[in-house]
């Protein structure tokens, strides 16, 4: 059972691979097509010009060949007519001579009097030495009356034309284009055949004389072929030229547009000084001018906003500093009161305890505010040293043990066997982890918290997974916002200030790392911290998945899809139970 | 704005109109300089157009006469060299024996065919005269006699078929004229230094051109009339094709000839094709389509034959004549002066001078007992070369040998050939038993014309000289001017290697050749003797008063030729007579 399944999967995988590759190729082409205005313009110009040139070329070729062949045809017909007259005169003479000799021309119409042949010889002479045309005369009624000039093959006369000639009245032309054969040439020659029956009415001659003129059209064919070649060449050159012109023209338009796009991209990536060169006063120049204007306005606005935010941060920092002095005094007084609470009546003692609590919270909030304003001011500094991440994790877990016990929560540590050294500020990383653990304990609803550490060549990662209510869609990023609360109605059980995750993210970013959150309703949530092994090295990926492997697996099974198994999936399945 | 657009549109329209107008003008450029075209008349080596008969198979409905007509047409068809269509007109039995290649009889029809219906068969008889015979090898011999040959036809299920007919092909004169190409083939004489013409008829082949047909026939060798007397440079090679290319006739052969034969071959080719090219085309010989020599083509000048054999076209050579009993040479302005040496001295003993090609004169003593030779140089003296009973006037050939005939009696003649006074007997069996009144060797050194007297009169024959020295013989003698009612022949003279002028005793001038019936030319009753050199024909004439002058044949009439010291061309006593061209 697994074998056919596997085979089927392989086959379908192959099919899918092919389909994927084809789709990728098509996608690539489509992307190039969609992205390049120039390509589109040049292609459409070429297609249109090919159609136009083809139509014009066919029309031109037809009219040229009609003209050339028509002229030859007319000349040939008039020549044929003149020849017919000559033949008739000559035959008449012969007939006259013959009737002198014999009283019974019908019986005596034998050979020996070869006037048709003499007439034909003179026709052959008229046709010229360069064989302008050949003539064939025949009369089926009279034996032996079948003559041809020079070396025309008598089979050059198409049978259909002959039937036409015999059917039509005398002296009426039938013409046909046909392949002419010559006895001294192996190949045929395209030509025109004009056939007529001689009009012998009133001359007493037999009316069966057929006379055929065979005109070779070699020269015309050569001319037409060269004209056609010329047309094709000129047409191709024209199409290419048009494509080149359109390419040039589009380039003139597209280049400034491309420059504007690049400028906009740079502007978008923060280079507020980016400006376009304004040349001339055409549409593109006006576009550049508007762009520049927009960029200036944007820069001004951004500057103003920055100024405003700076003022605000300064204000927060100042306020925090200023609040510290009175708070110290209040704190000293409160400590006194708190220490002496035994002596107060229960009401006052309770108030002193409350004050003490809230003062603690106030102090830590103030500390967080100061910390965050240091980040805002860019004053935070890293104290980098190579540390084993496992030690950091263990310290943070130890710090959280007390809180965890209070929530009756257990930690499930999944640490690799070998050390995972990375350059980092261990104090800050510990703070991040502590924050994450506190968060998990707070939202974990007493269920187990899984802390995993992963490492690869370039990076280390720590993931903290709880099985609480989880996050709603879209909350993955909001959790890092300052003073953001998952459920405003829920009271804080631990002294969270609402700034913990924000500070943690700032810390992670300071290391060049990522702090990311995943959560699904009912599935719990996972926070992952990924840090480069070497300080300052860019981070390309994380050794641990963001989405817990068991969730991913469950999701794919449900969707009957091929699971994309990650290396860490092996032990993810146990948690899913 | 609108006005500007309008102006622009009108400008564009103007431009378009201008462009169209100029394009229409310039299709054929009018004016310019006149172009002088080359329009020299030259031949068409591939042949002029001609008309030919196409053979038609017999029709079952035809009458016997119509079948004969169809058969005659099929015989005249050059399309079908094996006459397969013509054979369809024959009964099976006759078709097996009928050989269309055995020879051609050319006839002239004088009456309509006569029909004789018999019980078993029907006879159609053609009536006319036979005019010539064409041999298998193309030799054309004028002939005579009545044509009275019946075609015997039998009725078969598929119509009338011929069961018996005259042997070979039977062609009317016009058919023969159309079916055969007259070609002068040129071969080499015994020394391979001269060209000898062989006049033949070559069947026209529609699948080939005239030049190819002619050269192909040339390569087959001479006809029977020249067998043994001539040779060809083409032995061992075959023809592939003859084409034209850039004013040049290209002859493609299968093999090269021996190096010493290249020049004779070129001359043969140029001379043979001259009739078609009219001297307007050069030649090139190739071998298997490649140039003849590995590094250069073999080109042959159009007039190569004249360079090879000066006697083919000798040009202007002054004639000699006898005046005042001495030998004179005609000089400028048609005035003459005596030649150098003894021959130029007054000498009443000798007559009938013959001039050699090497400045020698031979003359017959007036009593006919001896022939003397003198050199035409200062101090050249007469030397007696031969004596005999009754010698015929001497004649030179191109090999510097002298010919004469000793008539021992009216029935015995001995032809002699003399070289430097040494006598070589010539074997001429046909002439031994007759009286040879005259013998002239043509300038090609091969053809020989003899005047033979028998009981009926004198006749002229043309034959060929075969061999040299003691091996010499005269063969292939053929009558060109037959005996007619006691006719006498006064003189003969070769025009060139093909044509002989014959002066009869009645002062009729005939032009005779092997391939044509003798034609009569306008004559003058005063003419006594003649000599000719290609286009020039001279005659010695004596008027009623015995005064003499030489006449010259212009294309229309005879005119007095030699001027005396006063510039007069009148007849005079002891005036110019007995004109003689070298080798005349």
Same domain, A417 and A352: no
pLDDT of residue B1: 44
DSSP notation for B181-249: EEEEEEEE-TTSSSEEEEEEEEE--TTS-HHHHHHHHHHT---GGGTTT-B-TTTT--EEEEEEETTEE
Q: Give the Cα separation of A38 and A45 in Å (integer).
A: 10
Determine the residue among B54, B129, B173, B242 to mutate to test chain A binding: the one whose Cβ has the most chain A Cβ atoms within 10 Å: B54
CB contact under 8 A, B54 and A146: yes
pLDDT of residue A450: 92
Same domain, A393 and A465: yes
Element (H, E) at B300: strand B298-300
CATH architecture of the domain with residue range B320-580: 6 Propeller (2.120)
Instruction: Provide the residue-wise pLDDT of chain A in tens; the chain has 577 residues.
Output: 444 445 556 888 899 889 999 999 999 999 988 888 888 889 999 999 999 999 999 999 999 999 999 998 998 899 888 888 888 887 777 555 444 333 333 333 344 445 666 677 777 667 665 567 888 888 888 887 888 887 888 888 899 999 998 888 888 888 889 898 888 888 888 999 999 988 877 777 777 888 898 888 888 899 999 999 999 999 999 999 999 999 999 888 888 888 888 888 888 888 888 888 888 888 888 888 988 898 899 889 989 998 998 888 888 888 888 888 888 898 899 899 889 888 888 898 899 888 888 888 888 888 888 888 888 777 778 888 999 999 999 999 998 888 888 888 899 999 998 888 899 988 889 989 988 998 888 888 888 899 999 998 889 999 999 988 888 888 888 888 888 876 666 555 555 677 888 888 888 888 889 999 998 888 889 999 999 988 888 888 888 888 888 888 888 887 655 544 444 433 433 333 3
Q: Give the Cα separation of A407 and A443 in Å (integer).
A: 10
To the nearest whole angstrom, how far is the Cα of B181 from the nearest Cα of chain A? 13
Is A351's Cβ below 8 Å from some Cβ in B? no
Q: A418 phi and psi, to 5 degrees?
A: -100, 160
Q: How big is chain B, counted in residues?
A: 584
By C-alpha distance, the chain A residue nearest B55 is: A144
To the nearest whole angstrom, how far is the Cα of B53 from the nearest Cα of chain A? 5
Residue A278 lies inside a defined structural domain of this protein: no
Q: Average per-residue pLDDT in chain B? A: 85
The answer to whether the beta carbons of residues A476 and A484 sit under 8 Å apart is no
**pLDDT tens digit sequence for B545-554:** 888 888 888 8
Which structural domain range is residue A464 located in?
385-490+497-546
Of chain A, the end-to-end C-alpha distance in Å amounts to: 27
pLDDT of residue A100: 39
The ranges of chain B annotated as CATH 2.120.10.30 are: 320-580
Interval B525-550 mean pLDDT: 87
By C-alpha distance, the chain B residue nearest A108 is: B112
Q: Give the Cα separation of B376 and B357 in Å (integer).
A: 11
**Measuring CA to CA, how many Å separate B285 from each of A8, A17, B195?**
79, 72, 19
Q: Which of A111, A150, A154 sits opposite B50 (nearest CB)?
A: A150
Same domain, A428 and A524: yes
Is A86's Cβ below 8 Å from some Cβ in B? no
**pLDDT tens digit sequence for B47-76:** 778 888 888 888 888 888 888 888 988 898
Name chain B contacts of A120, Cβ cutoff 8 Å: 51
CB contact under 8 A, A144 and B109: no
The answer to whether the beta carbons of residues B486 and B197 sit under 8 Å apart is no
To the nearest whole angstrom, how far is the Cα of A184 from the nearest Cα of chain B? 4
Name chain A contacts of B50, Cβ cutoff 8 Å: 121, 124, 149-150
pLDDT of residue A108: 36
Residue A209 lies inside a defined structural domain of this protein: yes
Same domain, A391 and A521: yes
CB contact under 8 A, A110 and B69: yes
Which 3 state secondary structure label does DSSP give B153?
strand
Is A211's Cβ below 8 Å from some Cβ in B? no
The number of helices, as runs of H, and strands, as runs of E, in chain A is 14, 12
**Measuring CA to CA, how many Å separate B133 from each of B106, B147, B357, B489?**
6, 12, 37, 26
Same domain, A393 and A373: no
Q: Give the Cα separation of B112 and B65 in Å (integer).
A: 11
Residue A290 lies inside a defined structural domain of this protein: yes
Scanning B361-471, the segments in alpha helix (DSSP H) are 429-432
Domain C-terminal end among A175, A196, A221: A221
By C-alpha distance, the chain A residue nearest B209 is: A184
pLDDT of residue A566: 42
CB contact under 8 A, B52 and A183: no
Residues of B engaging A, defined by a Cβ cutoff of 8 Å: 44, 46-56, 58-59, 62, 65-70, 72-74, 76, 79, 109, 112-113, 172, 174-175, 178, 206-209
Same domain, A428 and A357: no
To the nearest whole angstrom, how far is the Cα of A183 from the nearest Cα of chain B? 4
CB contact under 8 A, A144 and B56: yes
CB contact under 8 A, B209 and A184: yes
Alpha carbons within 13 A on the beta-carbon side of B82:
3
By C-alpha distance, the chain B residue nearest A102 is: B112
**pLDDT tens digit sequence for B118-134:** 777 888 888 888 989 99
CATH number, domain containing residue A170? 3.30.450
Q: Which fold has domain B64-179?
A: Nuclear Transport Factor 2; Chain: A, (3.10.450)
In this predicted structure, the answer to whether residue B467 has a pLDDT above a threshold of 70 is yes
Determine the residue among A91, A98, A105, A110 to mutate to test chain B binding: the one whose Cβ has the most chain B Cβ atoms within 10 Å: A110
Residue A486 lies inside a defined structural domain of this protein: yes
Name chain B contacts of A132, Cβ cutoff 8 Å: none
Domain C-terminal end among A171, A192, A221: A221
CATH number, domain containing residue A398? 3.30.565.10
Of chain B, the end-to-end C-alpha distance in Å amounts to: 103
pLDDT of residue B4: 62
pLDDT of residue B121: 82
DSSP symbol at B470: G
CB contact under 8 A, A150 and B175: no
Same domain, A163 and A295: no
pLDDT band with cut points at 50, 70 and 90 for residue B487: confident
In this predicted structure, the answer to whether residue B95 has a pLDDT above a threshold of 60 is yes
User: Structurally, how many domains does chain A consist of?
Assistant: 4
Q: At what angle do helices A37-101 and A218-268 cross, to 10 degrees?
A: 170
What the block records as the tokens of A358 is 């809230």
Query: Taking the CB of residue A357, how many other CB atoms lie within 10 A of it?
Result: 12
pLDDT band with cut points at 50, 70 and 90 for residue B38: low
pLDDT of residue A230: 94
The answer to whether the beta carbons of residues B213 and B181 sit under 8 Å apart is yes
pLDDT of residue B206: 86
Name chain B contacts of A125, Cβ cutoff 8 Å: 48-49
Same domain, A327 and A396: no
Domain C-terminal end among A221, A245, A266: A221
Same domain, A351 and A402: no
CB contact under 8 A, B69 and A118: no
Residue pointed to by tokens 């019980």: B119
The ranges of chain B annotated as CATH 3.10.450 are: 64-179
Q: Which of B276, B272, B273, B76 is nearest to B180 (CA)?
A: B76
pLDDT of residue A237: 95
To the nearest whole angstrom, how far is the Cα of A281 from the nearest Cα of chain B? 20
**pLDDT tens digit sequence for B307-344:** 888 888 888 888 998 888 888 888 888 888 888 888 88
Same domain, A343 and A390: no
CB contact under 8 A, A144 and B49: no
Same domain, A291 and A431: no
Determine the residue among B46, B51, B244 to mutate to test chain A binding: the one whose Cβ has the most chain A Cβ atoms within 10 Å: B51
DSSP symbol at A523: T
Residue A78 lies inside a defined structural domain of this protein: no
Is A144's Cβ below 8 Å from some Cβ in B? yes
By C-alpha distance, the chain A residue nearest B63 is: A107
CB contact under 8 A, B62 and A143: yes
Least confident window among A433-437, B97-101, B412-416, B520-524: B520-524
Residue A73 lies inside a defined structural domain of this protein: no
């Amino acid at each position: 059972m697994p074998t056919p399944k596997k085979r089927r999967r392989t086959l379908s995988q192959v099919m899918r691979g092919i389909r994927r590759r084809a789709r990728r190729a098509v996608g690539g082409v489509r992307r190039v097509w969609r992205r390049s205005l120039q390509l589109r313009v040049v292609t459409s110009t070429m297609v249109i010009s090919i159609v136009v040139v083809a139509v014009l070329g066919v029309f031109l070729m037809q009219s040229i060949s009609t003209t050339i062949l028509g002229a030859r045809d007319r000349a040939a017909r008039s020549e044929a007519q003149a020849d017919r007259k000559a033949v008739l005169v000559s035959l008449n003479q012969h007939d006259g001579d013959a009737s002198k000799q014999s009283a019974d021309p019908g019986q005596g119409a034998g050979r020996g009097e070869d006037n048709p042949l003499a007439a034909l010889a003179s026709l052959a002479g008229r046709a010229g030495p360069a064989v302008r045309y050949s003539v064939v005369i025949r009369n089926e009624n009279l034996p032996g009356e079948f003559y041809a000039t020079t070396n025309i093959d008598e089979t050059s006369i198409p049978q259909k034309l002959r039937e036409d000639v015999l059917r039509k009245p005398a002296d009426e032309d039938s013409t046909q284009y046909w392949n002419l054969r010559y006895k001294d040439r192996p190949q045929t020659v395209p030509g025109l055949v004009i056939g007529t029956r001689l009009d012998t009415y009133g001359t007493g001659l037999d009316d069966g004389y057929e006379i055929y003129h065979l005109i070779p059209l070699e020269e015309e064919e050569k001319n037409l072929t060269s004209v056609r070649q010329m047309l094709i060449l000129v047409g191709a050159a024209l199409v290419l030229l048009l494509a080149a012109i359109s390419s040039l023209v589009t380039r003139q338009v597209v280049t400034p547009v491309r420059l504007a796009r690049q400028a906009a991209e740079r502007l978008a990536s923060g280079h507020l000084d980016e400006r376009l060169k304004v040349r001339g006063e055409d549409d593109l120049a006006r576009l550049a001018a508007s762009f520049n204007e927009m960029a200036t306005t944007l820069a001004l606005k951004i500057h103003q906003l920055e100024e405003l935010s700076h003022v605000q941060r300064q204000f927060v920092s100042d306020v925090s500093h200023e609040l510290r002095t009175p708070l110290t005094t209040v704190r000293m007084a409160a400590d006194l009161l708190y220490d002496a609470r035994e002596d107060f009546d229960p009401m006052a003692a309770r108030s002193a305890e409350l004050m003490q609590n809230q003062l603690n919270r106030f102090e830590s909030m103030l500390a967080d505010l100061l910390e965050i304003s240091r980040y805002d001011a860019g004053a935070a500094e890293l104290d980098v040293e190579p540390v084993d991440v496992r030690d950091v994790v263990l310290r943070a877990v130890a710090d959280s043990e007390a809180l965890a016990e209070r929530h009756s929560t257990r930690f499930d540590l999944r640490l690799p066997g070998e050390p995972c050294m990375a350059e980092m500020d261990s104090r800050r990383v510990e703070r991040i982890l502590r924050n994450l653990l506190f968060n998990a304990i707070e939202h974990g609803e007493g269920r187990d918290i899984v802390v995993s550490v992963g490492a690869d060549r370039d990076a280390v990662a720590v993931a903290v997974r709880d099985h609480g209510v989880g996050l709603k869609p879209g909350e993955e990023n909001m959790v890092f916002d300052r003073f953001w609360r998952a459920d405003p109605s829920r009271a804080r059980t631990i002294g969270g200030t609402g700034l913990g995750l924000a500070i943690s993210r700032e810390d992670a970013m300071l290391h060049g790392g990522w702090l990311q959150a995943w959560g699904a309703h009912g599935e719990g949530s996972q926070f992952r911290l990924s840090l480069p092994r070497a300080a300052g090295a860019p981070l390309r990926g994380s050794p641990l998945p963001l989405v817990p492997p068991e969730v991913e697996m469950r999701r794919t099974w449900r969707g009957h899809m091929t699971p994309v198994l990650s290396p860490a999936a092996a032990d993810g399945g146990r948690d899913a139970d | 704005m609108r006005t500007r657009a309008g102006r622009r549109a009108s400008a564009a329209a103007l431009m378009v109109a201008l462009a169209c107008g100029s394009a229409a003008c310039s299709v054929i450029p009018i004016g310019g300089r006149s172009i002088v075209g080359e329009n020299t008349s030259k031949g068409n080596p591939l042949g002029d157009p001609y008309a030919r008969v196409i053979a038609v198979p017999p029709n079952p409905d035809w009458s016997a006469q119509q079948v004969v007509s169809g058969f005659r047409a099929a015989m005249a068809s050059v399309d079908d060299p094996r006459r397969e269509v013509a054979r369809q007109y024959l009964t099976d039995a006759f078709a097996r024996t009928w050989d269309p290649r055995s020879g051609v009889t050319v006839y002239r029809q004088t009456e309509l065919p006569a029909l004789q219906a018999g019980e078993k068969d029907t006879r159609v008889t053609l009536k006319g005269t036979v005019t010539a015979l064409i041999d298998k090898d193309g030799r054309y011999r004028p002939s005579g006699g009545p044509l009275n040959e019946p075609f015997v036809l039998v009725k078969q299920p598929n119509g009338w078929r011929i069961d018996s007919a005259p042997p070979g092909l039977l062609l009317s004169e016009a058919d023969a004229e159309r079916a055969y190409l007259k070609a002068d083939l040129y071969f080499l004489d015994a020394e391979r230094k001269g060209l000898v013409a062989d006049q033949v008829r070559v069947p026209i082949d529609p699948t080939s051109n005239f030049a190819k047909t002619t050269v192909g026939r040339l390569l087959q060798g001479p006809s029977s009339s020249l067998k043994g007397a001539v040779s060809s440079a083409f032995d061992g090679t075959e023809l592939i094709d003859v084409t034209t290319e850039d004013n040049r006739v290209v002859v493609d052969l299968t093999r090269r000839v021996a190096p010493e034969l290249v020049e004779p071959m070129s001359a043969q080719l140029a001379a043979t094709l001259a009739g078609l090219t009219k001297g307007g085309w050069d030649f090139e010989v190739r071998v298997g389509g490649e140039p003849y020599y590995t590094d250069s083509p073999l080109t042959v000048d159009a007039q190569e034959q004249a360079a090879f054999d000066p006697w083919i076209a000798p040009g202007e050579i002054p004639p000699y004549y006898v005046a005042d009993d001495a030998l004179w040479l005609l000089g400028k302005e048609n005035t003459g002066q005596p030649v150098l040496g003894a021959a130029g001295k007054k000498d009443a003993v000798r007559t009938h001078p013959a001039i050699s090609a090497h400045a020698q004169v031979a003359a017959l003593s007036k009593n006919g007992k001896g022939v003397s030779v003198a050199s035409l140089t200062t101090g050249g003296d007469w030397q007696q070369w031969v004596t005999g009973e009754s010698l015929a006037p001497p004649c030179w050939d191109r090999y510097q040998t002298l010919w004469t005939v000793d008539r021992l009696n009216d029935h015995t003649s001995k032809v002699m050939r003399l070289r430097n006074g040494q006598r070589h007997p010539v074997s001429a069996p046909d002439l031994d038993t007759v009286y040879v009144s005259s013998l002239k060797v043509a300038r090609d050194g091969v053809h020989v014309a003899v005047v033979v007297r028998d009981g009926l009169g004198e006749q002229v024959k043309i034959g060929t000289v075969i061999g040299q020295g003691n091996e010499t013989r005269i063969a292939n003698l053929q009558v060109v001017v037959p005996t007619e009612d006691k006719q006498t022949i006064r003189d003969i003279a070769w025009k060139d290697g093909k044509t002989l002028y014959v002066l009869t005793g009645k002062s009729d001038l005939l032009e005779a050749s092997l391939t044509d019936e003798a034609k009569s030319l306008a004559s003058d009753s005063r003419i006594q003797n003649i000599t000719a050199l290609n286009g020039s024909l001279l005659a010695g004439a004596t008027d009623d008063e015995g005064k003499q002058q030489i006449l010259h044949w212009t294309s229309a009439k005879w005119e007095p030729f030699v001027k005396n010291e006063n510039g007069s061309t009148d007849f005079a006593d002891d005036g110019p007579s007995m004109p003689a061209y070298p080798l005349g």
